[in-house]
Amino acid sequence: MSTRRKIKNAINYIKVYFAIGVSVSILISILLLIIINGLQHLSWDFVFSMDAPRGFSLMPMIVTTAIVVFLTLLISAPLGIGAAIYLNEYASTKSRLVKFVRVSIETLSGIPSIIYGLFGFLFYVIVLGWTWSIQAGIFTVSIMVLPIIIRSSEEALKAVPMSFRMGSYALGAGKFYTIRKVVLPAAMNGIIASIILSIGRLIGETAALLLTAGTLMDMPINLRSSAATLSVFMYTITVEQGDMERAYATAIILMSLVLGLNLMANFIARKIKKG
């Protein structure tokens, strides 16, 4: 083998090891930075205290985040799963309508969250006159997570073998009965994974909520009040207040929530793949 080929091979080796080294060290350095500094500044009072001054307890933000996640899923989970069922179980792949729906959903999934925020601000905050409020935030992000839920639910439905459905039809069951009693139970794990994934996305979402739900750090009174979620708080505390100690403590909470949910979704998805 010529020296040139040997050198080229060596360079390619170096490239791939360098690249994987960079990626792994990025993750590890983010994790270490946040864990080490976060634990230092974390305290029971900072997370759970109910009567701390504004911005010195995470409780209002945790409550807001929980409300946003719960109500958003209440809207988009049925809608998304329903759409996935239609696309995978009812629609013929050739129909124009299905193509139209698919292209629209693909496009939605590529739109950056700031555009959703812009739309939510214009439509809910101004046109409908809801002002900066939790409900404006919820309706905005529920559009944002739809493509995620639809896409992964569809994948879960696709993974159910055709023979399941055929068997059910052969026993005389109708279409809806088959979906309800055979297809959905078999696809349930995958659908749950898709929901968990979208919870992670919702907790981490900032730009869309910043423009629609506002940055107020108080405990929300009702759905019309403006309130910050954990990640919006994370932004304001870092940029506008520049308080790194509280930022680290918030970061560790936020990171463990999001990464925990991601790991869970991964775990379930892998279990399905193994079958």
Touching other proteins, residues 220-249 (CB under 8 A) = 231, 234-235, 238-239, 244, 247-248
Task: Build a one-symbol-per-residue string for 41-70: x at contacts with other proteins by CB under 8 A, - elsewhere.
Answer: ------------------------------
Q: What is the dihedral of CA 52, 56, 57, 60, to 10 degrees?
A: 90
Token digits of residue 157: 């439905």
- # residues near other proteins by CB under 8 A: 94
Query: Any contact of residue 7 with other proteins (CB under 8 A)?
Result: no
Residue 210 burial (10 A CB sphere; 0-12, 13-18, 19+): buried
DSSP class of 219 = P
Q: Answer yes or no whether residue 173 interacts with other proteins by CB under 8 A.
A: yes
Residues 174-193 that bind other proteins (CB under 8 A): 174-177, 179, 181
Q: Does 200 bind other proteins (CB under 8 A)?
A: yes
Q: What's the residue count for the chain?
A: 275
Interacting positions 85-144 with other proteins (CB under 8 A) = 85-87, 89-91, 100-101, 104-108, 110-119, 121-123, 127, 143
Percentages helix, strand, coil for the chain (3-state, rounded to 5) are 80, 0, 20
* Residues 12-31, mask of contacts with other proteins (x by CB under 8 A): xx-xxxxxx-xxx-xx-xx-
Distances in Å between the Cα of 237 and the Cα atoms of 68, 117, 206, 213 are 20, 20, 13, 16
